[in-house]
A and B are shown apart, each in its own frame.
Chain A
């Protein structure tokens, strides 16, 4: 007679989100390489710019890794949406945790108008352009939503991301 197997743990729904960042944190996530396969034993990846084609952020997410700072109106809306639909929100990398390089534009003495002028010169996008309007100041994630965990680094060590997900799963 074989011993009864322990009851299987419920699989967790994992999402990753890319706000205003360079994608380096997602590259670090992908650098888990073969460990991603074992991660798939515990997680369903339900939304991600690098591991899923799903365009709409779903309901009922257990763990959401968020790369990047909050720099545009779209970033802000996405941050609020993912917070409402996720149990645990993880600020992934220095841009999400501190603003980091993304927030360097906050130093411009003329504010957002000065930044746009510096970048675009004569071709500053008109107010009715389809580009996402930028916020006056770049903010770290915890300045706009509640953040449960932080994982700093630029980018974070892939092993740290793996251990975090293993400890949660």
Chain B
């Protein structure tokens, strides 16, 4: 396997040719906040938090989907990148409804962790406070659209690992939303195996295990 050498913030690291730049960052001891990335799932570069500056590139590139090549020089912590990362997290908080104080994921939330990582002490853009829905039709799990950041981890884990293809994104832009089946209540989707993988990979409290139903007897898929 060919190995390439590149520079991350001035530090020389060696990784397999074609490996994602995130791997080179890890080798250099740099960890960036990420939200859509999951090591077991295909990368989609949706959250843009892993943007890095690549010498010679006209604009920052997402480290999760950019291939490592010989001689690249990366900067991961410039003022522009720091400012951009903070703004991205602020926009995520402003786009949905994220009152941490009344969220079941408070203290165990990757969005909250990202906010702390980027030093977000307040949201400087106007909050949208969109009217959204809660889908409590599944016997074991709950989908709270207010807390969904559209990272698509659930879509990918259901497709790539469970093979059930329950989840998809509907509509576009600010109206984009997660749907189950053919835009049905989750509990009405026959292909759901109730495996819980989507709940396990959700970075926020959008997909959670219901606490209002006993875990047994097993209600069946």
Chain A residues engaging chain B, CB cutoff 8 angstroms? 91, 94, 97-101, 103-104, 106-109, 137, 140, 142-143, 147, 150, 152, 154
Cα–Cα, bound, A142→B121 (Å): 11
Given known pairs A101-B101, A101-B102, the reply for A142 and B129 (CB within 8 Å) is no
Q: Which residue of A lies closest to B101 (CB)?
A: A154
> 10 extra interchain contacts, Cβ-Cβ under 8 A, other than A100-B102, A103-B99, A104-B97?
A94-B100, A98-B99, A98-B100, A98-B122, A101-B101, A104-B99, A107-B97, A140-B122, A140-B127, A143-B126
Cα–Cα, bound, A140→B121 (Å): 12
Contacts of A100 in B (CB 8 A): 99, 101-102
Find A94's partner among B101, B121, B146 (CB 8 Å cutoff).
B101
Given known pairs A140-B122, A142-B122, the reply for A108 and B131 (CB within 8 Å) is yes
Minimum CB–CB distance for A23 against chain B, Å:
15
Cα–Cα, bound, A154→B106 (Å): 11
Chain B residues engaging chain A, CB cutoff 8 angstroms? 93, 97, 99-102, 121-124, 126-127, 129-132, 146
Cα–Cα, bound, A103→B101 (Å): 12
Q: Which residue of A lies closest to B100 (CB)?
A: A94
Q: Are the C-beta atoms of B123 and A140 separated by less than 8 Å?
A: yes
Q: Are the C-beta atoms of A99 and B101 separated by less than 8 Å?
A: no
Q: Are the C-beta atoms of B100 and A97 separated by less than 8 Å?
A: no
Q: Which residue of B lies closest to A109 (CB)?
A: B131
Cα–Cα, bound, A150→B123 (Å): 11
Q: Are the C-beta atoms of A150 and B101 separated by less than 8 Å?
A: no
Contacts of A107 in B (CB 8 A): 97, 129-132, 146
Would you mind naming 18 contact pairs between A and B with Cβ atoms under 8 Å apart?
A94-B100, A97-B122, A98-B100, A98-B127, A100-B101, A101-B102, A103-B99, A103-B127, A104-B97, A106-B127, A107-B132, A109-B131, A140-B122, A140-B123, A140-B127, A147-B122, A150-B122, A154-B102
Cα–Cα, bound, A142→B123 (Å): 9
Cα–Cα, bound, A154→B99 (Å): 10
Cα–Cα, bound, A87→B106 (Å): 33
Q: Which residue of A lies closest to B121 (CB)?
A: A150
Q: Which residue of A lies closest to B93 (CB)?
A: A98
Cα–Cα, bound, A104→B98 (Å): 10
Q: Which residue of B lies closest to A94 (CB)?
A: B101
Contacts of B100 in A (CB 8 A): 94, 98, 154
Minimum CB–CB distance for A110 against chain B, Å:
9
